[in-house]
């Protein structure tokens, strides 16, 4: 189970318990499309074999990048997500 928590990140729960996966600090411009970016990247990362916490970190990065852009079609590309994760190292 994944529960998004805005800028704070998201909670991931499984048979082993729950944990908060921290969000990324960005200057938000428009939150339109952030949830879509989060869900899409979460599903893609899980499908690629990432464990839930790592998939959630990627999803949080995608949502953070999405809110820095105007409009609903703001999902970042995988390389943008990778760069934000490398830059922030959370």
pLDDT at 15: 87
- Identify whether 16 is part of a domain: no
Give the chain's domain count: 1
Closest alpha carbon to 57 in 31, 27, 24, 33 = 24
Measure the CA–CA gap between 49 and 84, rounded to whole angstroms: 20
- Identify whether 7 is part of a domain: no
- Identify whether 43 is part of a domain: yes
- Identify whether 10 is part of a domain: no
Closest alpha carbon to 1 in 55, 44, 65 = 55
- Residues annotated as part of the active site: 36
14-52 residue pLDDT tens: 888 999 999 999 999 999 999 999 999 999 999 999 999
| Three-state SS at 28 | coil
- Identify whether 41 is part of a domain: yes
- Identify whether 56 is part of a domain: yes
pTM given for the model:
0.90
| Three-state SS at 69 | coil
- Identify whether 55 is part of a domain: yes
**∠32-6-11 over CA atoms, to 5°?**
130
- Which structural domain range is residue 35 located in? 24-88
């Amino acid at each position: 189970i994944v529960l998004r928590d805005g800028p704070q990140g998201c909670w991931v729960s499984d048979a082993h318990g729950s944990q908060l996966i921290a969000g990324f600090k960005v200057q938000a411009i428009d939150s339109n499309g952030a949830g879509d970016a989060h869900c899409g990247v979460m599903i893609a990362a899980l499908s690629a074999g990432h464990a839930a916490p790592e998939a959630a970190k990627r999803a949080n990065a995608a949502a953070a990048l999405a809110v820095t852009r105007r409009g609903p079609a703001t999902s970042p590309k995988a390389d943008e997500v990778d760069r934000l994760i490398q830059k922030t190292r959370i």
